[in-house]
Amino acid sequence: MLAAVAVSISLAACGGSGSSGVTPAAYVKSICEAIGPFEKTVQSRSQALNLSKPQSAAEGKKALEGFLTQVASDTDQAVTKLKAAGTPNVANGKEVSQAIVSAFTQLKTALTAAAGKAGSLPTASAAAFKAGAQALGASVQTSIGGIGSSLGNLKSPDLENAAKKEPACQTLGG
């Protein structure tokens, strides 16, 4: 789920528009090098999280809370790298850069909030935990969907072309 957001954000990043700053190629490389490791880490953490058969609801709650906290921290690291990418020297480059950083900052906020809510999930029964966890998952997906869609209007042929040529961008999404 989070990997899909990373991919959609990276694709929006590879479409966007500003002026003054780093070359499109350098910007895209930095963005993809920030998002790629983030995406892989989230995928790895997601695969390691097995809520289908926790020993108890309390164990499931602890695992989910830890997962969300770790991914929020991973997101924070990605934000730092995205900020360091600078501003692409394309039309509306400042807006592109700000939108991408803002999207990941919003993602971190949503994940941090979800981790807090995970700490309050009911553990009296497996069914109650499952229902609460599913509701929390739906809430996170809604937040992520809104964040990703906010980047849909960013388009830049220069960034798109640079992304097609950048090896670090070729591994995103899969």
Predicted confidence (pLDDT) per residue in 3-13, tens digit: 444 444 444 44
pLDDT digits (tens, 9 = 90+) for 53-100: 667 888 888 989 999 999 999 999 999 999 999 999 998 889 889 989
What is the Cα–Cα distance from 61 to 160, expressed in whole angstroms?
41
What is the Cα–Cα distance from 60 to 39, expressed in whole angstroms?
23
- Structure confidence at residue 50 (pLDDT): 72
What is the Cα–Cα distance from 173 to 22, expressed in whole angstroms?
25
Mean pLDDT across 114-123: 92
Query: Helix or strand or coil: residue 92?
Result: strand
User: Cα 52 to the chain's mean position, in Å?
Assistant: 23
Q: Is the pLDDT of residue 16 over 70?
A: no
Structure tokens belonging to residue 174: 């899969």
What is the Cα–Cα distance from 17 to 96, expressed in whole angstroms?
6
Q: Is the pLDDT of residue 112 over 60?
A: yes
What is the Cα–Cα distance from 158 to 24, expressed in whole angstroms?
6
pLDDT digits (tens, 9 = 90+) for 124-172: 988 898 899 889 988 888 887 777 666 777 778 898 899 899 998 888 8
Query: Helix or strand or coil: residue 16?
Result: coil
- Structure confidence at residue 1 (pLDDT): 46
Enter the pTM of the model: 0.80
